[in-house]
Structure formats: structure tokens, C-alpha cells
Amino acid sequence: MKDSHFIQNWAEAAYTSVGFFWMALWAFVLGYLLSSLIQIYLTEDKMKKVMGEREGRGVLLGTLFGFISSSCSFAALATTRSLFQKGASFISSIAFLLASTNLVIELGIVISIFLDWQFVVGEYVGGILLILICWALVKIIKPTSLIQSVRDRFAKNEEEAEHKHHMSPSALEKVSMKYKMEWGMVWKDVTIGFTIAGIIAAFVPDSFFEALFVNSGKAQDSFSFIELLEHVVIGPVAAFCTFIGSMGNIPLAALLYGKGVSFAGVMAFIFSDLVVFPVLRINAKYYGWKMSLFILFLLFVALILTSLGLHYGLSIFDVLPEMPDKSVVDQQFFKADYSVVLNIVGLILSAVFIWKASKSKKMHHHAMAKKGKWFEKILKILAIASYIWLAVGLGLYVFL
């Protein structure tokens, strides 16, 4: 019986992992394609003129560009790096990152399906608060030397790229090579992250999450400040265990809310897609570990203050949501809707770009993360093991 139960969970875990990725596939393609286009067609002078000269204007434009681009966290990281590398100010780039993962229409729609309207308001108002708080922290801390060191790092990489590459590929080749490079940077993190998400969803009982949040199940307006603070700190911890990006986290956020977690704790969980280890590691690849940890600090402090502020703000107006009568239903991943068309188009575009890049002999000029280190090797082994786990699990799911 125990073996049968494990096999059933294995099948469900694999199906869930692939389902989560299917939900986010079109956003990955859109974000990485946008990042590739930005890197190829926007010159540093143009980007500085638009976002780099005046900080206030840059933050506003970064927020607007983020809203327009709307992508998952992995794709937003790549685009943010492109903007910063092309001359946008640091805080303008952070504004873009936060806007593109929070101030997006599709995210609000998903939240409205699984949660109450207060969470929709919290997502959009909170997205703006996150940007403003990060802006204020940067003004207070003034990390000028750290920012300059990252710009020097970018300049050095570009000089090395120029020395290693003297040919002039076509525009399509350039975009294709950038697109393939972006996937090459994060495929291991994406694979492992989505696989773990499915495993957690299938094998870890709801009681595990209930135990993380003290005194869950109380009326929303009866939580003490210490209890709320514990919830908004533990929220990112829970997000780390179930990390699948902001879109895929919404059903799990609804599950937490159904188990009695505070409004502030659930919002912190939703906001936490940018403060987990895969994101920390990707930022370290882009900017170095010092800047990556500084960004982590900014976002973590901002999400704690934002989540608490939203909770007390709604409490003042007496509009905190009431506890739901029932828990969230199972998510239907492979349904016939607009995402099917977008995913098919995305797969076709990806095949074309990767094929074009693979045919080109001019693609090795990109600044890639150093290979051969023990951490890279471990991640590669885990990623390959994840593919085996998923393949066998999907076979079991079909058989069962």
C-alpha cells in the first residue's frame, strides 16, 4: 500500500510540475524574446536618454515598461539585466523588475479567480509600494560604489566579447543567439525549481504549511503585530519551498489562505517570487554575489513593509477579507484557452531561434557564467535527475 501511494504521488508530482511549466511557458518565451530584442536593438545611449538621466522619470518609465512587458520572474530577471546593462539607472531597473512581475493584468485575473478582490487590490497597490520602498532604501543607503562595480563588470564582459568576435551576424542571428544564451543561463534553475514545486505539492501535507504560520485560523483583524510579522517573514520561506513563479504560486497562496494564514502572510508569499534562491543565483550570475545579496535585501525588506502596510491599511477601512468557507480546488493545467495558442506560438518561435543560433558559428562571444565549478556540476546533475524523475512520473501518470 505504501509503495502504491508513493507511485501515485510520484505521478501526481510529475504531472503538476509539467502543468505548472505549461502555465508559464508563453511568459518565458515572451520575456526572453523581449530581453533579446532589448539587448540587440536598444543602444546604451538611447536607454540612458530614456531611463538613465533623470531618476524620477526613469522609475516611472521603468514601471511603465514593466507593466507593458509583464512576464514571469525568470524572464523579468533577464530583461532587467538588459536594461541596467544598456544604461538605465539601478532603481529604474528594479522598478521594471517589480512592475513586470506584480503590476500585470493576467496576474490580477488569476488572483481574482482564486482569492478575494482585496488580494487583487493588494497586488497592484503593493507592487507600487514595493517600488517606492526600494527607491527610498536606495536613496538612504546610496550604494554608488556597488552599482559602479557592476557597470565595470558589464563593460569588461563587453570588451571581451568584442575581442572574441569580429564578424557581423545578421539581426536575426543576433536575436537568436541572445535568446539561446538566456535559456542557457537558467535552464538548470528552471528545471529543478519546477520539479521541486511538483514534489512539494504532491508529497508535503497541508499541515506542514499550517505549522509554519503561528496561530493560523484566527479572524483577520485579531492577529497581533508579532503574529503578522512572523507570517510575513515565513511567507518567503514557504515560497522558497514551493517556488514556481508568481503565476503558479497563486493556487498555493489560496491554499495557505484557506488554512487560516493572515492576509499579510499570503501577500508576502505572493510577493516572494523574487527573493528565493534560484533568483538569487541568477542575479549573482548577472551582477556578482554582492549586488545579488543587496537586491535580495532590498526586496525582502520592501515586501515585509508592504505586506504589513497592506494588512493594516485594509484593517483601517474595515475591508480585510473574511476566511473562505472552503479550500482552493485543484488547478486544471491543460485546458483549452488562450494559453494553448500562446504556448504553441512560443514553442515554434523557440525552435526557430534555437535552430538559427545552433547553425551560426558566431555565438560564442557571449559572456556566460563560468562552467566547471562544483556548484554548476551539482545543478546539472540535479537537472538531469529531474528530467528522469519527470519522464518516469509522466509515464506512471498515463499508465495509472
Mean pLDDT, the chain, whole residue set: 80
Question: pLDDT at position 335, please?
Answer: 75
What does the block give as the cell for 307? Answer: 505586506
Question: pLDDT at position 365, please?
Answer: 43
pLDDT tens digit sequence for 273-319: 888 877 888 888 889 899 999 999 999 999 999 999 999 999 999 89
**Considering only 11-15, 100-104, 121-125, which range has the smallest mean pLDDT?**
100-104
What does the block give as the cell for 249? Answer: 504560486
Q: Three-state SS string across 344-366, please?
A: HHHHHHHHHHHHHHHHCCCCCCC
> Does 162 have pLDDT greater than 50?
no
> Does 331 have pLDDT greater than 60?
no
Residue 242: pLDDT band by 50, 70, 90 thresholds? low
The residues, any chain, with a CB within 8 Å of residue 76's CB and separated by 6 or more, are 31, 66, 69, 96, 97, 100, 101
Task: Note every long-range contact of 44-48, with CB atoms under 8 Å and residues 24 or more positions apart, other chains counting.
Answer: 44/86, 44/87, 45/87, 46/86, 47/83, 47/86, 47/87, 47/88, 48/86, 48/87, 48/88
Question: pLDDT at position 65, please?
Answer: 80
Taking the domains of the chain in order of start, what are their residue ranges? 2-399
Is residue 72 within 8 A of residue 245, CB to CB? The reply is yes
Stated pTM of the model: 0.71
What does the block give as the cell for 51? Answer: 531611463
How far apart, in whole angstroms, are the C-alpha atoms of residue 62 and residue 68? 10
The region, left, alpha or beta by phi > 0 then psi within -120 to 50, assigned to residue 373 is beta
Which tops the pLDDT comparison, 355 or 173?
Answer: 355
Residue 368: pLDDT band by 50, 70, 90 thresholds? very low
How far apart, in whole angstroms, are the C-alpha atoms of residue 309 and residue 304? 8
> Does 166 have pLDDT greater than 50?
no
pLDDT tens digit sequence for 196-239: 778 877 887 767 767 778 877 777 778 889 999 999 999 887 77
